[in-house]
């Protein structure tokens, strides 16, 4: 072997001996550079609207520890739907869902609560807690609604999300519609027409002009925002199953699951304009006490649990309808079969465990 070849062979051995150290060094430099870019970019965007988008994206990707409240591995959220402007009683939350998200395994559990549950401390129905909380102070609606739901389910509620029905419609349309499986065909001949709640209908004693007839056929349907809104709000069907509040709660869960499915498909992330439309619609129509980091963690957990969503409605046997009386302001209400909500507490614990 020539002297030149020996030198080359010696250098080659030294290089191969240290190749992993070299690779690690290069990787460290790249990561350090990337971290520096992220830090500087974040610093430059601080206190801007774009900064919130950046913070959301960064937390969504890395999911840092301690960025979200939890209890025994679950983060619990009260999801409320209200009528909003243009509707009779705009601050009553006729959609009430206790959503529990696991931080230990990909899983989401939804429990729909009837709006007519009587809350003795409030001396009002559960769906009015948000309204009365807002009467006490700004932002008090979510606080009182969360504490009332805690009383019913026996679990802490860490966050609240209130969706205006108009925003609900816009979010679905921004997604391009949703796919919903209608379990049973039904007709509702008295679906209220928005904005005509006080119409005298030319003296018609039946006030027929205040209502329209809607119909849903059994099977898979692509729903626009307007169609989905009618599907979840319908409550006057003569069908003995679909005409109940419990069936209505089940339909609401179907639509929420369909929205989650449409919003969390990976290909949506490749369409930034569509993502921006959905984000804009949600931001304008949703009230929440989730901060940006907590939102990002919840979004990541929902994505991970997209194939493991469990939906429930509080079983009818736990609730009874008492005779109308002054004790309940002569209203149609549900009260617990037991003297308190202990049966529901046990049931919720069972489905979460």
Domain with 222 in it: 53-352
Helix 225-233 to helix 245-263 angle (10° resolution) is: 150
User: In the numeric block, which tokens belong to residue 89?
Assistant: 């009683």
64 and 22 fall within a common domain: no
**pLDDT of amino acid 16:** 43
126 and 76 fall within a common domain: yes
Cα dihedral across residues 278, 288, 307, 253: positive or negative: negative
181 and 250 fall within a common domain: yes
For residue range 217-269, what is the model confidence (pLDDT) as tens digits?
Answer: 999 999 999 999 899 888 888 877 788 777 888 888 888 888 878 887 767 76
Taking alpha carbons only, the member of 297, 186, 302, 194 closest to residue 248 is: 186
40 and 64 fall within a common domain: no
What percentage of the chain reaches a pLDDT higher than 70? 81
Helix 3-17 to helix 19-45 angle (10° resolution) is: 50
**pLDDT of amino acid 242:** 83
20 and 167 fall within a common domain: no
**pLDDT of amino acid 15:** 42
pLDDT-based confidence at residue 132 (cuts at 50, 70, 90): very high
40 and 181 fall within a common domain: no
121 and 41 fall within a common domain: no
> Is the predicted pLDDT of residue 182 greater than 60, yes or no?
yes
DSSP string, 293-309: HHHHHHHHHHHHTTT-E
User: Which residues have a Cβ under 8 Å from the Cβ of 322 and sit 6 or more positions away?
Assistant: 328, 333, 335
123 and 229 fall within a common domain: yes
Between 133 and 91, name the one with better pLDDT: 133
Residues 333-341: what's their mean pLDDT? 93
101 and 27 fall within a common domain: no
106: CATH: 3.40.630.190
What percentage of the chain reaches a pLDDT higher than 90? 40
**pLDDT of amino acid 269:** 64
The tally of domains found in the chain comes to 2
Calpha distance 96→114 (Å, rounded): 7
**Which whole-number Å values give the CA distances from 234 to 101, 122, 128, 244, 352, in the listed order?**
28, 27, 19, 9, 29
Q: Is 44 helix (H, G, I), strand (E, B) or coil?
A: helix
42 and 58 fall within a common domain: no
> Is the predicted pLDDT of residue 35 greater than 80, yes or no?
no
**pLDDT of amino acid 350:** 95
User: In the numeric block, which tokens belong to residue 233?
Assistant: 């709000």
Calpha distance 119→274 (Å, rounded): 41
> Is the predicted pLDDT of residue 189 greater than 60, yes or no?
yes
Mean pLDDT computed over every residue of the chain: 82
Calpha distance 63→252 (Å, rounded): 29
User: Which residues have a Cβ under 8 Å from the Cβ of 35 and sit 6 or more positions away?
Assistant: none
171 and 277 fall within a common domain: yes
Taking alpha carbons only, the member of 344, 335, 348 closest to residue 117 is: 335
14 and 117 fall within a common domain: no
For residue range 67-114, what is the model confidence (pLDDT) as tens digits?
Answer: 789 998 899 999 998 876 555 667 899 889 999 999 888 899 999 999
């Amino acid at each position: 072997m020539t002297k030149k070849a020996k030198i080359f062979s010696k250098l080659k051995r030294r290089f191969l001996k240290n190749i992993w150290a070299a690779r690690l060094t290069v990787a460290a430099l790249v990561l350090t550079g990337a971290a520096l870019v992220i830090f500087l970019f974040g610093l430059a965007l601080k206190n801007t609207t774009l900064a919130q988008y950046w913070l959301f994206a960064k937390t969504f990707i890395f999911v840092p520890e301690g960025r979200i409240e939890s209890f025994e591995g679950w983060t619990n959220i009260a999801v409320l739907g209200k009528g909003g402007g243009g509707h009779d009683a705009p601050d009553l939350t006729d959609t009430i869902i206790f959503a529990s998200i696991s931080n230990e395994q990909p899983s989401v559990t939804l429990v729909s609560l009837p709006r007519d549950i009587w809350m003795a401390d409030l001396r009002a129905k559960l769906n009015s807690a948000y309204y009365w909380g807002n009467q006490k102070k700004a932002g008090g609606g979510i606080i009182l609604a969360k504490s009332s739901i805690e009383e019913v389910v026996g679990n802490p509620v860490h966050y609240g999300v209130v969706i205006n029905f108009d925003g609900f419609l816009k979010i679905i349309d921004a997604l391009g519609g949703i796919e919903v499986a209608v379990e049973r065909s039904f007709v509702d001949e008295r679906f209220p027409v928005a904005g005509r709640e006080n119409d005298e209908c030319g003296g018609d004693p039946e006030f027929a002009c205040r209502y329209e007839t809607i119909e849903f056929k059994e099977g898979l349907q692509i729903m626009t925002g307007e169609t989905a809104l009618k599907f979840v709000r319908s409550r006057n069907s003569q069908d003995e199953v679909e005409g109940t509040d419990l069936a209505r709660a089940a339909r609401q869960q179907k639509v929420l699951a369909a929205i989650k499915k449409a919003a969390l498909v990976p290909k949506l992330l490749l369409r930034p304009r569509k993502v921006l439309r959905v984000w804009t619609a949600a931001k304008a129509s949703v009230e929440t006490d989730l901060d940006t980091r907590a939102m990002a963690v919840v979004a990541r957990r929902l994505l991970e649990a997209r194939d493991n969503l469990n939906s429930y409605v509080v079983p009818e046997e736990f609730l009874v309808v008492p005779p109308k009386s002054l004790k309940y302001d002569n209203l149609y209400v549900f009260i617990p079969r037991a003297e308190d909500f202990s049966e529901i507490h046990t049931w919720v614990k069972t489905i979460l465990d």
